[in-house]
């Protein structure tokens, strides 16, 4: 697994092939899964982590993830305000 990311980067003719490591692949996949709304338990299983803390450490706070969370908060707040207004 360790050399696969650099082999893929080489095939794609990306710059700095040596920068693409197994660690990068794990970090990227964990972040992409979190951005897609996958729960932390599934992410842990996917990567073979037992610790939630370790799994959360691999998930980057991407703009997409922050935006999705903000939208969920806004929808929840708006729904709450509408419910209070109706009642």
Instruction: State the pLDDT at residue 40.
Output: 92
**Contacts with 30 (C-beta within 8 Å, 6 or more apart), sequence order:** 43, 46, 47, 55, 58, 59
Instruction: State the pLDDT at residue 45.
Output: 94
Q: What is the pLDDT along the chain (87 residues), one digit of tens a residue?
A: 678 888 988 999 989 988 888 888 888 899 889 888 899 999 999 999 999 999 988 888 777 777 877 888 888 765 555 555 555
Instruction: State the pLDDT at residue 65.
Output: 73
- Residue 29: name the closest of 10, 55, 67 by CA: 55
Distance (Å, whole) CA 38 – CA 22: 21
Instruction: State the pLDDT at residue 43.
Output: 94
- At residue 29, φ and ψ (nearest 5 deg) are -65, -40
């Amino acid at each position: 697994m360790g050399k696969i990311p650099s082999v893929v980067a080489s095939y794609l003719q990306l710059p700095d092939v040596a920068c693409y490591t197994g660690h990068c692949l794990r970090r990227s996949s964990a972040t992409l899964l979190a951005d897609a709304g996958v729960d932390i338990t599934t992410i842990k299983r996917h990567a073979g982590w037992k610790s939630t803390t370790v799994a959360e450490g691999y998930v980057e706070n991407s703009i997409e993830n922050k935006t999705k969370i903000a939208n969920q908060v806004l929808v929840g707040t708006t729904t709450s305000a509408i419910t209070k207004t109706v009642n």
